[in-house]
Structure formats: structure tokens, C-alpha cells
Amino acid sequence: MIVIGVDVHKQSVTAVAVDEAGRMLDERTVPAGSDDLVGWAAKLDVERLWAIEDCRLLTPWLERQLLGLGEELVRVSPKLTVPERRAARTRGKSDPIDALAVARAALREPDLPRPQPGEQVHREIKLLVDHRDDLVDERRRTQQRLRWHLHELDPTLVVPLRRLDRASHLERVGRWLARREQDVQVRIARELVGRCRSLSRTIDELNQELQERAAAVAPALLELPGCGAVTAAKLLAEIGPISRFKTDAQLARHSGVAPLQASSGRVQRHRLDRGGNRQLNAALYRIAITQSRYHPAARAYLERKQAEGKTRRRSDPLPQTTPRPHRLQHPKSEPRLDIGASVSV
């Protein structure tokens, strides 16, 4: 069997074939979108495995092409190729070097992710979630620009926080601008008001669509306390098909919620994992914070753990430290007796 590592770019695709020992057999570079790679690989060996660097914006067309032809493929995370590039005899960086590192990383790692059934459904949810996040950021920037224009037009005008995304308040601001002299700044402010209205309508429509899709794919998520439609869609988008995780521990490690060992000697403790999928981590954090405030079962759980000696920032009980004995004062630091002042003449 051979392993074919693939490095994909917008304009070109570079493939390097290696044997089971990691020795390079051949390489090939073709234009992006070409179907010449399969014919080239068939001349090398009938039994082959394609290892594609996991760049989701560049590789979907190649994955569809290979899966349509019945080829076996795995996805290699870019961070897994770093040790292979460091250990390689060939120094520098090029597309063949990167493809060779991808192939050798696939030989080293036995349980790499493969395309799963139903990925297209989760892919569409992720596209909608990312598009909604972009629109929310654009609306926030538009609201900030509008606030500065309103302040410059009238410093006494009070615009409450988190009100410019509401249609009633935008209508009020629009009427106030319509009564003023229609100079350049007022015209720009009115255009920003219209842009905020349009963005809010689009975001509301996306929220409704995400709720419908989340209810169709995983209705149990919407029944979870603290998990709304947007958070449920974010979980589905970042996790993908749940079948790609064999255990809940793998999912916890992937999301960065599993504590890491930070022990040394007699000190046994854990610390937070700052790695993992941070978007997924943030979604789980929102659910946990909401439950800790409003869900009785979660509040009872936290109170029970705090009674055991744990804190909200530590999963381990605080260590019982013994007070240190007072340090003996050095003779040279003892206060000196002023004999002359104590003797009366």
C-alpha cells in the first residue's frame, strides 16, 4: 500500500507518494480542479490511501472528486505535519516538502478523521453560523459609526446601550434625523440607520433558519437548559457528525474542556486547557454559565462541589498548607540598647 500526501492551493495541487516505510516514490503537481491525479496514482499501486491536509476552504472539491471515484482518504491536521518537516533531511519549504510531511504524518497517526456521512448537513449549518457571525460583527461596527455621528450632531442626545438593533429605537432615531437639516453628516447617519435595519432583519431570518435546522438535526439540544437556537447551531457546526468521536473524552479534549495535568512532586493538581476548538469551547461555556445562574440542578451541583473544597476556577480542592514557623531573628538584627540614654547622670 502507498500513502499519497496532498498539499492543496488555490491554483495548484501537489501530491507525493510514499511507501509504508515513508520513502518517497514519486511526486506530481497539477492545476487545481484537474482529475489527472487519480490516473497518476493508479500507475503506482492499486491499494492506496490519500492523505489531504485539512484546509476546508481549499479541499472540498478534491474530496468530492476522490470520494466519487471510490478512493480512501483521511484528513491530516496541519499541526501534525510540523514534526515531520523538522525531522526531514530536506530543509526549507515547498509544496512537495509539505505534501511529503502530510503523507508521513498519515503513516504515523493511525486514527485520522475521515469524511463522515451527513457532513453536508453540518457543513451548511456552519456556513449559516459563520455568515450570521459576520453580519453581527458588521452590524456592531455600523452601530458604532452611527453613535459617533449622532454624538457629533448633538452631544445631548442619549442613545441607550444595546438599543440600535431594535426596530423601534432605529425608527425613533430615523425620525429625529429627518427633522434636522439634511447636510452630509445627517445623510450618512440616515444611511447607517437603514443599514442597521437591513442587517437586523437578515440576522433575525438567519436565527429562525438556524432554529429550524437545529430542531431537525438535534432537537434534544434545544431542550437542554441554557442552549438556545444559535448556541445549538454553533455546537452542530463545530462538532460535525458526532460519529467521528469514539468517546466523550475525545470530544472533551477536542473542545478544550478536559482539564490538563499540572502536577509536580507532592502537588497534584489540574489546570484549564487553553487549546482545542475555541468556538466550541465558548458555546459550552455559555451553556454552563447560563445553567449556573438559572438552572436549579446546576446550582445545586456547584454548591455541592464548593462544599467539598473546590472553587469555580479550580477542579481540585485547595491544598491544605501548614503554616510556616516564624523565622528566628538574626542576632545582628536585634534592637540595640542605648546604654547612654538609660543611665542618668
Residue 326 maps to a domain: no
The angle at the Cα of 231, spanning 225 to 234, to the nearest 5 degrees, equals: 145
* Domain shared by 50 and 142, yes or no: no
| Whether the Cβ atoms of residue 53 and residue 97 lie closer than 8 Å to each other | no
Instruction: Tell me the mean pLDDT in the region 204-223.
Output: 94
- Report pLDDT for 321: 52
Mean pLDDT lowest for which of 79-93, 189-203, 234-248, 328-342?
A: 328-342
- Report pLDDT for 318: 55
Residue 132 maps to a domain: yes
Can you spell out the DSSP letters for 268-289? Answer: --EE----S-HHHHHHHHHHHH
**Confidence at 162, pLDDT banded by 50, 70, 90:** confident
Q: Which three cell numbers, joined as nine digits, stand for 59?
A: 479541499
- Report pLDDT for 148: 94
Residue 150 maps to a domain: yes
Residue 226 maps to a domain: no
Q: If residue 48 lies in a helix (H) or strand (E), which one and from where to where?
A: strand 48-53
Dihedral angle sign, alpha carbons of residues 162, 165, 171, 174: positive
- Report pLDDT for 342: 35
Report the C-alpha gap between 162 and 140 in whole angstroms: 10
| Whether the Cβ atoms of residue 19 and residue 35 lie closer than 8 Å to each other | no
* CATH for 85: 3.30.420.140
- Report pLDDT for 89: 76
- Report pLDDT for 35: 82
Domain that holds residue 47: 2-108
Task: Count up the domains in the chain and report the number.
Answer: 3
Can you spell out the DSSP letters for 190-249? Answer: HHHHHHHHHHHHHHHHHHHHHHHHHHHH-HHHHTSTT--HHHHHHHHHHH--GGG-SSHH
pLDDT at 336 over 80: no
Report the C-alpha gap between 338 and 330 in whole angstroms: 19
Residue 52: burial class (beta carbons within 10 Å; 0-12, 13-18, 19+): buried
Residue 139 maps to a domain: yes
Residue 337 maps to a domain: no
Residue 327 maps to a domain: no
Q: Which three cell numbers, joined as nine digits, stand for 110?
A: 493511525
* Domain shared by 195 and 270, yes or no: no
Residue 333 maps to a domain: no
Mean pLDDT lowest for which of 68-72, 117-121, 199-203, 288-292?
A: 117-121
Quote the pTM value: 0.79
pLDDT in tens, 248-297: 998 999 899 988 888 888 888 888 888 888 999 999 999 999 999 999 99
pLDDT in tens, 185-209: 999 999 999 999 999 999 999 999 9
pLDDT, the chain, mean:
86
Q: Which of 86, 36, 79, 22 is nearest to 55 (CA)?
A: 79
- Report pLDDT for 340: 36
pLDDT at 132 over 90: yes
Question: Which residue is associated with the grid cell 536585634?
Answer: 334
pLDDT in tens, 283-334: 999 999 999 999 999 999 999 988 888 877 665 555 555 555 555 444 444 4
Instruction: Tell me the one-letter amino acid at 112.
Output: L
* Domain shared by 7 and 99, yes or no: yes
What phi and psi, each to the nearest 5 degrees, are found at residue 51?
-115, 110
Q: Three-class SS string for 134-189?
A: HHHHHHHHHHHHHHHHHHHHCCCCCCCCCCCCCHHHHHHHHHHHHCCCCCHHHHHH
User: Inter-axis angle of helices 229-239 and 184-217, to 10 degrees?
Assistant: 70
